[in-house]
Chains A and B, each alone.
Chain A
Amino acid sequence: GQSLEQPSEVTAVEGAIVQINCTYQTSGFYGLSWYQQHDGGAPTFLSYNALDGLEETGRFSSFLSRSDSYGYLLLQELQMKDSASYFCAVRAINNAGNMLTFGGGTRLMVKP
């Protein structure tokens, strides 16, 4: 089967940098995605890495190492509105095709 591990909770202060790690075990790996979900809201897409390396989108960056089955989401210049849950997800093969499997989520709390 497939599994993803990410920390359950991270706390940081406004203006700081935080890194959320994700390790995965899966078959037929296609790529690693990151989603943000505020309390009571729907998940929103942040980034997708299919190849090794760093992808930067504004204050957010995402990194992937396929050989290490590892990736991370880097959030810079933290703002209070970044307080949310962050999910890593991989698309993997199962016996009925392929499916997007999510990690358990990392709850980020940004303090003033």
Chain B
Amino acid sequence: KAGVTQTPRYLIKTRGQQVTLSCSPISGHRSVSWYQQTPGQGLQFLFEYFSETQRNKGNFPGRFSGRQFSNSRSEMNVSTLELGDSALYLCASSLDPGTTHQETQYFGPGTRLLVL
């Protein structure tokens, strides 16, 4: 099976711009979660989607949003970019939320975003 794929892998934006990142989960996985990883804050949960619905949300401002499509692919959007948004954005997929399968998260390679 192909793993989790994320596009683009690298991105450079300037403050005030917006960005959309894409994630394709492992075939058959219906849950997709997004994380932000920075040296200072570590790995932080952004949100989780299942069946095109946001199930869980972390403590990030409303500038961070996401969605999931019927084929389980997911996108996340960050509007009005700030310098502090520079990070590695990781997507992870899992089988079914609310079960122990949820705990086995399969991560994609990430999108490295640099905001100038």
Q: Are B104 and A102 in contact (CB under 8 A)?
A: no
Q: Are B106 and A102 in contact (CB under 8 A)?
A: no
Q: What's the least CB distance linking A57 to chain B, in Å?
A: 12
A residues near B44, Cβ cutoff 8 Å = 102
Q: Are B57 and A33 in contact (CB under 8 A)?
A: no
Q: Are A45 and B104 in contact (CB under 8 A)?
A: yes
Q: Are A97 and B107 in contact (CB under 8 A)?
A: no
Interface size, A (range): 20 to 34
B contacts with A, residue count (CB < 8 A): 25
A44 at the interface (CB under 8 A from B): yes
- Chain B minimum-CB-distance residue to A48: B103
B55 at the interface (CB under 8 A from A): yes
From known contacts A100-B45, A102-B43, A103-B42, infer whether A91 and B103 are also in contact, taking CB-CB under 8 Å.
yes
A residues near B104, Cβ cutoff 8 Å = 45, 48
From known contacts A50-B100, A96-B56, A96-B57, infer whether A87 and B43 are also in contact, taking CB-CB under 8 Å.
yes
Q: What's the least CB distance linking B94 to chain A, in Å?
A: 9
Q: Are B103 and A104 in contact (CB under 8 A)?
A: no
B residues near A99, Cβ cutoff 8 Å = 45, 48, 56-58
From known contacts A42-B109, A102-B43, A102-B44, infer whether A31 and B58 are also in contact, taking CB-CB under 8 Å.
no
Contact pick for A94, options B33, B59, B92, CB 8 Å: B59
- Chain A minimum-CB-distance residue to B58: A99
- Chain B minimum-CB-distance residue to A98: B56
B residues near A89, Cβ cutoff 8 Å = 43
B residues near A94, Cβ cutoff 8 Å = 56-59
- Chain A minimum-CB-distance residue to B106: A45
B25 at the interface (CB under 8 A from A): no
Supplied contacts A43-B105, A97-B57, A105-B43, 15 more A-B pairs, CB within 8 Å: A33-B103, A45-B104, A48-B100, A87-B43, A94-B59, A96-B58, A97-B48, A97-B55, A99-B56, A100-B105, A101-B45, A102-B43, A102-B44, A103-B42, A104-B42
Give the interface of B toward A (CB within 8 A): 4, 33, 35, 42-45, 48, 55-59, 90, 92, 100, 102-110
